[in-house]
Amino acid sequence: MGSKGGFTLLGLLIILSVLCDSGHSLRCYNCPNAVGACTVTTNCTANEDACLYAKAETRTVYRCYRFQNCKYEDIAREYGGSHLKYECCQKDLCNRSGGTSITGTMALLVAPLLTAFWRLLI
């Protein structure tokens, strides 16, 4: 009975995590001229489907961006091409340099998986 209940609970939690994540806009760090670590977040608009981290010679930018414009030429034109480093990504809060983030959906999924595996081993 324990393993059947564990699998049922696991299936239910997977379905809930997918439903909780669907339909929300992308969240990105948003600092137009960051000094130090950027901690401000924003929900992107419908036409912005990526998070951008760009570091030019004198400026560091975190913001929502259009993935189709994530090309060196476009970003260099906007922020300066000298010593430009940039990254575009399409997951919540993925544009933070030098760090990782875990979304609520990921936490919702990982905790029940660990619980289910623990119950199977006992």
Q: What is the pLDDT along the chain (122 residues), one digit of tens a residue?
A: 455 666 666 665 565 554 455 456 999 999 999 888 899 999 999 999 999 999 988 889 999 999 999 999 999 999 887 789 999 999 999 998 654 444 455 555 556 766 776 677 77
Specify the CATH superfamily of domain 2-8+17-121: CD59 (2.10.60.10)
Q: CA-CA distances (angstroms) from residue 53 to 58, 73, 75, 95? A: 14, 15, 10, 5
Q: Which of 38, 18, 40, 45 is nearest to 103 (CA)?
A: 18
How far, in Å, CA of 68 to CA of 37, rounded? Answer: 26
pLDDT of residue 2: 53
pLDDT of residue 58: 82
**pTM of the predicted model as reported, rounded to 2 decimal places:** 0.61
Beta-strand ranges (E) seen in 60-107 are 60-65, 85-89
Per the CB < 8 A criterion, the answer to whether 113 and 11 are in contact is: no
How far, in Å, CA of 50 to CA of 28, rounded? Answer: 8
